[in-house]
Amino acid sequence: MPETFKAILVSRDADKKQSVAVTDLTDADLMEGDVTVAVEATTVNYKDGLAITGKAPVVRRWPLVPGIDFAGTVISSSNPDWRQGDKVILNGWGVGETHFGAYAAHARVKGDWLVPLPQGISAHDAMAVGTAGYTAMLSVMALERHGILPDRGPVVVTGAAGGVGSVAVSILSSLGYHVIASTGRNAESPYLINLGAAEVISRDELNQPAKPLAKERWAGGIDSVGSHTLANVLSMTSYGGAVAACGLAGGMDLPSSVAPFILRGVSLLGIDSVMAPKAVRLEAWRRIGSDLDLQKLAGLSRTIGFDGIIDAARDIVEGKIRGRVVVDM
Ligand code: NDP
């Protein structure tokens, strides 16, 4: 009998009604790929919450094992870049959307999608970072490329108590930025200050319809919220500044004007983690290895087991999760 393992499976009935269940799979059930990985740790990202609850069309193939990222050990490989025993990380590439993902003990993927686990980081640490933290690092790198360095002035992080936000606050403060953290959960102020925020402001200051231009408050920002929040962040960005837009937790729209772009030379930097080229991923994970304080990382994450994934997925879409959730498989 082939070995079976537990997996979460999202299915859809004839009326396109989505459901989620825990099931048993074997390696023969996995999708095509040249590397099979024993998943040691994964995480619950906002996108995983959307996939499991069906709140947005993240899953585009049924049935599907969700889970957009994992860290683990190669069990078998016909890809020349990877051998049995190699420690690897996967983020994105449609895994957990169109290709069976992380919420199973084994995952079979293309070797080209994998990056090596950085030295000194465990599978658990890598998933405390997860796609959210890797996206935060991509956003920091985009600001740096645009010349938004600590001496240019404060930077704002929206959705600060969430996964992307928490890691962004932590990295930016380690790099010496004056970080203004925006949150809807005022009770999380001590948590954000502990991560390195210099100031905490209320989400209410940013979520009403934006003026074309407002008082200049920051040189840049990392926005995981979108909609009015991003519009306000842009209108309050000082001359020549830049904002990295990476999320839509508050909405997918952008009710803004061109005023910040054409009157203040502000730039809007788009961040996509899913299809980011391998060289960019390698650089982002290298920087995570060097620039992220692992002690702070421990403080911004909590650990659950496989059985807690579905509840955590429901909680994250309701904005109830603080920081990062690591799943020890
Ligand atoms: P989380 O749910 O952990 O964090 C989102 C945070 O946004 C919440 O904690 C909350 O922060 C804030 N928020 C939630 N709802 C609202 C609202 N209605 N209005 C204003 N603020 C709100 O999610 P992640 O950090 O994992 O992801 C954040 C966003 O980034 C998501 O939209 C996700 O899809 C996107 N993302 C994009 C990636 C990319 O490749 N571009 C990759 C990874 C994530 P607080 O309580 O502090 O206000």
Q: pLDDT (tens digit, 9 = 90+) per residue, 150-202?
A: 999 999 999 999 999 999 999 999 999 999 999 999 999 999 999 999 999 99
Cis peptide before 150 (omega within 30 of 0): no
Residues 178 and 242 in one domain: yes
Confidence of residue 298 (pLDDT cuts 50, 70, 90): confident
Residue nearest to atom 17 of ligand 1 (CA): 250
Show the domain range for 95.
Answer: 5-117+298-328
> Considering the chain, what percentage of its residues have pLDDT values greater than 70?
100
Query: Is residue 296's pLDDT more than 90?
Result: no
Using CA positions, which residue lies closest to atom 36 of ligand 1? 247
User: Mean per-residue pLDDT for 94-105?
Assistant: 98
Is 130 close to ligand 1, i.e. is its CB under 6 Å away?
no
Distance CA 274, CA 69 (A): 10
Instruction: State how many domains the chain has.
Output: 2
In a domain, 172, yes or no: yes
Predicted local confidence at residue 185, as pLDDT: 95
189 lines ligand 1 (CB under 6 A): no
Indicate whether residue 167 lines ligand 1 (CB < 6 A).
Answer: no
Q: Mean of the per-residue pLDDT values for the chain?
A: 96
If one counts every other C-beta atom within 10 angstroms of the C-beta of residue 326, the result is: 22
Average pLDDT of the segment spanning 227-232: 98
Residue 106 lies in a domain: yes
The one-character DSSP state at 120 is T
Q: Which CATH number goes with the domain that contains 309?
A: 3.90.180.10
Q: Residues 199-216: pLDDT tens digits? A: 999 999 999 999 999 999
How many helices and strands (H and E) does the chain possess? Answer: 9, 15
Q: Tokens at residue 57, please?
A: 């069309």
Which residue type is seen at 87? K
Within a domain: 173: yes
DSSP state string for 254-281: ----SHHHHHH--EEEE--SSS--HHHH
pLDDT value of position 212: 97
Q: Rounded to 5 degrees, what are φ and ψ at 144?
A: -60, -45
Q: What is the mean pLDDT of residues 223-251?
A: 97
